[in-house]
């Protein structure tokens, strides 16, 4: 689409428990505000009803702050990109409804964004005009979050194909559920990451899945972890407390080996050496260093996101919206959010 002015996209993300708004101008990040909801900590997981109420309270101040921090006025915005799904329906409804109302009041178009595509496209956010080191196409993205573990063949900014995925739990779920049985707070991934640094990753062996092709499975590992605790707690009631660091280090090492095993297989099968990682679990320090060494060994061009783009954020929604804007793919005001959506929907 030919442009006679800068393309300024307001991105809105409200799929789970983070309310976020961002401004991206011609693909360059201008602001990215995230209000995380602390209310769920007491419950050991996200409570959907509380999440949507908190989004309602946060959305206006968060959008206001994103616009102010970008140094623009709302009349400068070209279009509003919002997460349509997948996610919690009540949470998605807040962002979708806000986007509809704001687009009507400003008389500008809307762009619907698939949250999973957003995670992948976070790699294309430019920090400034000269930031051009981005993955070329086709590339492979390992998308690892609380709800997904997928290997995605990224054909271009908007065309993606899942070539491997979990048949049961996601990697993030394995981190969180194993953390929960050890009595660690929610979400457990960052706590396991921290404790793993103090332990011996080779001290305990857990069962690894034997799944065909490029698919993953984490439910067996979770059960193996649970049985290991049950058996050892019978002998020593202080087993978890006394061995927490070793448990975390060994569990984390196993999850990383499983994730990397299939990624290496995918890279070999496709011949692609342009590799990225995305999603909440990509914040894991063990995974980041394992990917870096694997990339050196195999000659991959590896893209690891900055921490602020690993978890849910609106910058990734705004950049995806930017590429949709360039293609003129605007959304109708009739659309409704979807709790479940595949990456290519
Ligand atoms: O992408 P995300 O923010 O949310 C969605 O699932 O959409 O991912 C959240 C997941 C949680 O399971 C959390 O425990 C995990 O990412 N996570 C981590 C780390 N930081 C976040 N897992 C392992 N190590 C980390 N440092």
String of DSSP letters for 148-198: -EEEEEE-SSS-EEEEEEBSS--HHHHHHHHHHHTTPPSS-HHHHHHHHTT
Q: What is the whole-number distance in angstroms between the Cα of residue 302 and the centre of ligand 1?
A: 20
Look at residue 314 and tell me whether its pLDDT is greater than 60. yes
Q: Do the Cβ atoms of 278 and 310 come closer than 8 Å? A: yes
With a 6 Å cutoff on the Cβ, whether 145 touches ligand 1 is yes
Taking alpha carbons only, the member of 11, 275, 301 closest to residue 144 is 275
Q: What's the chain's average pLDDT?
A: 96
The mean pLDDT value for 275-298 works out to 98
pLDDT in tens, 78-122: 999 999 999 999 999 999 999 999 999 999 999 999 999 999 999
pLDDT of residue 42: 81
With a 6 Å cutoff on the Cβ, whether 27 touches ligand 1 is no
User: What is the percent of the chain where pLDDT is above 70?
Assistant: 99
**What is the spatial distance between Cα 84 and Cα 1, in angstroms, rounded to a whole number?**
23
Q: What is the whole-number distance in angstroms between the Cα of residue 48 and the centre of ligand 1?
A: 17
For atom 22 of ligand 1, the residue with the nearest CA is 189
Atom number, ligand 1, closest to the C-alpha of residue 188: 14
With a 6 Å cutoff on the Cβ, whether 87 touches ligand 1 is no
The mean pLDDT value for 169-178 works out to 95
With a 6 Å cutoff on the Cβ, whether 176 touches ligand 1 is yes
The model's confidence at residue 230, banded by pLDDT at 50, 70 and 90, is very high
Look at residue 53 and tell me whether its pLDDT is greater than 70. yes
Look at residue 345 and tell me whether its pLDDT is greater than 60. yes
Q: What is the whole-number distance in angstroms between the Cα of residue 127 and the centre of ligand 1?
A: 23
Q: Can you tell me which residue has the tokens 């849910």?
A: 312
Q: What is the whole-number distance in angstroms between the Cα of residue 281 and the centre of ligand 1?
A: 4
pLDDT in tens, 317-328: 999 999 999 999
For atom 14 of ligand 1, the residue with the nearest CA is 189
Atom number, ligand 1, closest to the C-alpha of residue 18: 3
C-alpha distances (whole Å) from 190 to each of 34, 150, 175 are 18, 20, 9
With a 6 Å cutoff on the Cβ, whether 305 touches ligand 1 is no
The mean pLDDT value for 325-337 works out to 97
Q: What is the largest CA-CA distance in the chain?
A: 73
Mutation to probe ligand 1, out of 34, 119, 146, 171 (largest number of atoms < 8 A from CB) = 146
**What is the spatial distance between Cα 82 and Cα 99, in angstroms, rounded to a whole number?**
7
**What is the pTM assigned to this prediction?**
0.95
pLDDT of residue 2: 45
**What is the spatial distance between Cα 340 and Cα 282, in angstroms, rounded to a whole number?**
22
The mean pLDDT value for 241-247 works out to 98
**What is the spatial distance between Cα 95 and Cα 52, in angstroms, rounded to a whole number?**
10
The model's confidence at residue 39, banded by pLDDT at 50, 70 and 90, is confident
Structure tokens at 26: 């011609």
**What is the spatial distance between Cα 208 and Cα 218, in angstroms, rounded to a whole number?**
8
Q: What is the whole-number distance in angstroms between the Cα of residue 10 and the centre of ligand 1?
A: 25
Look at residue 4 and tell me whether its pLDDT is greater than 80. no
With a 6 Å cutoff on the Cβ, whether 77 touches ligand 1 is no
**What is the spatial distance between Cα 212 and Cα 333, in angstroms, rounded to a whole number?**
43
Look at residue 168 and tell me whether its pLDDT is greater than 90. yes
With a 6 Å cutoff on the Cβ, whether 13 touches ligand 1 is no
With a 6 Å cutoff on the Cβ, whether 286 touches ligand 1 is no
pLDDT of residue 112: 98
């Amino acid at each position: 689409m030919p442009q006679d002015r800068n393309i300024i996209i307001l991105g809105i993300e409200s799929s789970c428990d983070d309310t976020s708004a961002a401004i991206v101008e011609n693909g360059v990040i201008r602001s990215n505000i995230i209000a995380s909801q602390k209310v769920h900590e007491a419950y050991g997981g996200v409570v959907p009803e509380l999440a949507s109420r908190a989004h309602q309270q946060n959305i206006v101040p968060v959008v206001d702050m994103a616009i102010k921090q970008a140094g623009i006025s709302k009349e400068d915005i070209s279009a509003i990109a919002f997460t349509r799904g997948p996610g919690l329906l009540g949470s998605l409804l807040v962002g979708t409804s806000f986007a509809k109302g704001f687009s009507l009041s400003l008389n500008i178009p809307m762009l619907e964004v698939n949250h999973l595509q957003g995670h992948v496209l976070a790699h294309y956010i430019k920090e400034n005009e000269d930031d051009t080191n981005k993955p070329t196409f086709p590339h492979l993205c390992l998308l690892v979050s609380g709800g997904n573990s997928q290997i995605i063949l990224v054909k271009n900014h908007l065309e993606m194909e899942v070539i491997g995925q979990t048949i049961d739990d996601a990697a993030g779920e394995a981190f969180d559920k194993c953390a929960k049985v050890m009595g660690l707070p929610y979400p457990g991934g960052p706590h396991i990451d921290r404790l793993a640094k103090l332990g011996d990753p080779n001290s305990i062996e857990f069962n690894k899945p034997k799944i065909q092709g490029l698919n993953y499975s984490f439910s067996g590992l979770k059960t193996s972890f649970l049985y290991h605790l049950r058996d050892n707690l019978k002998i020593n009631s202080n087993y978890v407390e006394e061995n927490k660091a070793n448990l975390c280090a060994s569990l984390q090492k196993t999850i990383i080996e499983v994730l990397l095993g299939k990624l290496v297989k995918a890279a070999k099968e496709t011949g692609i050496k342009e590799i990225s990682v995305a999603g909440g679990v990509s914040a894991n320090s063990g995974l980041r260093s394992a990917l870096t060494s694997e990339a050196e060994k195999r000659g991959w061009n590896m893209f690891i996101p900055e921490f602020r783009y690993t978890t849910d954020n609106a910058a990734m929604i705004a950049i995806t919206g930017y590429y949709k804007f360039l293609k003129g793919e605007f959304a109708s005001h009739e659309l409704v959010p979807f709790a479940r959506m595949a990456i290519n929907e």
